[in-house]
Amino acid sequence: MDSLRQEKIHKFEEFVDRRLKPDLVRAIAERDKVFDQQKIFSDLRKNIENLEKNSVTNLRTLVNLGSEVYMQAEVPDTQRIFVDVGLGFHVEFTWSEALKFISLREEKLERQIEEYTRLIASIKAQIKLVCEGIRELLQIPEEKTVEGRVF
Amino acid sequence: MGKPEVKGTVTPLSSMFPPEEVQKAAKLVEEKLSEKRNEMSQLKEFIADNTSLINLVQKLPDELHHDIMVPFGKAAFFPGRLIHTNEFLVLLGESYYADRTAKQTVDILKRRGKSLMSKVDALKAEMQDLKAEASFFDSTASEVAEDLVEIREYEEDNSNQSESQSGPTELESPTLAETDHKMDSKMGASKDDEYARLMSRLEELEKEELAAENGEIDEDEDEDEDEDANATETDGDENELTEAAFHRKKDEGYSSLDHGQRFSESQPTRQLQQSKGKEAMREEISNKYNHQDLTNQFSCTGLTAEPLTKGEMSCGRIIHQDKMLNPSVNASVPSENKPVQTSKSKFDSSKAFTGSIVEHTENLEKKTPGQNTTPSESSGSKPSKPVSRFKMQRK
């Protein structure tokens, strides 16, 4: 009887370790990527708003040539900005158009993030379920959930 | 001479090197090796980037301005121009930057490339070591898988010297490591002072032999040495050493070979055959055996040689055959166990057998006919152990 139980427990544990945990890790990684994208676009938006606010027309920047070797670059006209719209395309925008596009993009990214969050939550729930099953098999007393004080 | 007592132990290799552990060790080494490979590829990438950057930096000052798309964050560009094309801001590390011209920047980048190359070389050396380790583990694993058994025989002669030899039951040569291992254990069995004495003498002889071997015909040397050595063990050792040196020269390394050379059985008749046998043996050995570290083996054999009594026929033989070499060899080895030994004895006629005998199946086949007669004549039917046969012959 015991050996059978041990086997089951072993199987459950393996399932958790081999399927669920890597799935969780992958989902979290994907969500982080989307987070990064979101951050990029929000930074861009802030910069453009800054430019607009200060009416900057010329711009002097340092361009990274690779391996942290920089060279001075000048932007004579900041009115036109090319934004990456995906699939390797960059579209020429004016400031206001760029801002509109960026807000649309940010919405899309937020929806993606939410999807990933839901996926991650479901995986976590599955892991918890299997752990509970193992615990039942081992007949370990239930862990008490922290209860708020009842007045 | 009274027949010496022969005691022996048979130890399966798997008990010494448990197969699972060997496999585990092999896997660990493989992992480390792959890690190093990744690092190596990364370093190579860096080097490639560095070189392309050097080219770029050299080309930029050719123009006053360059029209470019200036990146603005990660997802946007501005059309713009590169200005001050001879001024570069280089990161020196720790948030320290330096304004440099193109030439100076190229110098900096070249120095960086050099340090990267030296890192790559260091990494290559590490990988080599790991590869050697991995190959050793692989060979050990395969040998263990083949159920090699270590056979140790202890023979005591009148002078109460003990000799220990090891040989696989399947007549397969143990790896160098195994030999070392056996040697170590054997040493424990044999007398330490005897061993020390023998070792030092062997080393001396080895050096002499090496020097002598270099420019001479092996055969002649061996023959001469053999004849001289008939009377004494030392000669036998020398012969063995010569043989070892010779074989070493041939870039053949067989643990057994060294042993075989140690093996000294002297018989006048054999000497004549020795030269022929030696040649054939050598050739066959070179054909058959993989390169092994002769010196190691030699020293290993030295360990085992120690127990050999002077003037005693080899009690045990180590038959070394690389499994990888020829399955046929393995098949023939058992049958030719005795003949091989006899052929070996040819070389060392009248020499005290100081080490294991290397049996080469090819050699065996050739020599067997000639050899077999002598042993049979000298002694009655011999047990499977070659030692006894030689002992008989020596008498």
Q: Mean pLDDT, to the nearest integer, of A74-83? A: 87
| B82 to A73: CB separation less than 8 angstroms, yes or no | yes
Angle between helices B192-215 and B218-229 (to 10 degrees): 140
Cross-strand bridge partners of residue B153 = B8, B165
Tell me whether B88 touches chain A (CB under 8 Å).
yes
Read off the pLDDT band of A142 (50, 70, 90).
low
- pLDDT at A118 > cutoff 90: yes
Q: Which of A47, A67, A76 has the CB atom closest to B72's CB atom?
A: A47
- Residue A151 confidence (pLDDT): 64
Contact of B363 with B340, CB cutoff 8 Å = yes
* CA–CA min distance A69, chain B (Å): 5
- Residue B307 confidence (pLDDT): 41
Tens of pLDDT along B266-302? 344 444 444 444 444 444 444 444 444 444 444 444 4
Contact of B151 with B316, CB cutoff 8 Å = yes
| B49 to A98: CB separation less than 8 angstroms, yes or no | no
- Residue B391 confidence (pLDDT): 54
Angle between helices B233-249 and B268-288 (to 10 degrees): 30
- Residue B353 confidence (pLDDT): 56
Q: B347 by DSSP, 3-state: which? A: helix
Which residues of chain A are within 8 Å of residue B74 when distances are taken between CB atoms? 40, 84
- pLDDT at A117 > cutoff 70: yes
* CA–CA min distance A95, chain B (Å): 12
| B83 to A74: CB separation less than 8 angstroms, yes or no | yes
* CA–CA min distance B130, chain A (Å): 30
Q: Following DSSP, what letter does each residue of A28-90 receive, concatenated? A: HHHHHHHHHHHHHHHHHHHHHHHHHHHT---EEEEEE-STTEEEEEEES--S-EEEEEETTEE
Q: What pairing do the DSSP bridges indicate for beta strands A59-64 and A69-75?
A: antiparallel
- Residue A124 confidence (pLDDT): 92
Which residues of chain A are within 8 Å of residue B60 when distances are taken between CB atoms? 65, 71
The total number of residues shown for chain A amounts to 151
- Residue B73 confidence (pLDDT): 84
**A/B interface, count of CB pairs below 8 Å:** 98
- Count Cβ atoms below 10 Å from residue B145 Cβ, excluding itself: 14
- Residue B360 confidence (pLDDT): 56
- Residue B13 confidence (pLDDT): 67
**Gyration radius (Cα) of chain A, Å:** 26
- Residue A78 confidence (pLDDT): 84
- pLDDT at A56 > cutoff 70: yes
Tens of pLDDT along A57-74? 888 889 888 888 899 999
Which B residues 55-84 touch A at CB under 8 Å? 56-57, 60, 68-84
Q: Which of B49, B52, B82 has the CB atom closest to A71's CB atom?
A: B82
The distance from CA B275 to its chain's CA centroid, rounded to whole angstroms, is 26
Residues of chain B below pLDDT 50? 160-188, 218-346, 348, 363-386, 390, 395
Q: Which of A66, A74, A81 has the CB atom closest to B72's CB atom?
A: A81
B153 conformational bin, left if phi > 0, alpha if psi -120 to 50, beta if neither: beta
What is the chain A residue with the closest CA to B72?
A: A44
Tell me whether B15 touches chain A (CB under 8 Å).
no
Q: Mean pLDDT, to the nearest integer, of A104-128? A: 92
- Residue B251 confidence (pLDDT): 43
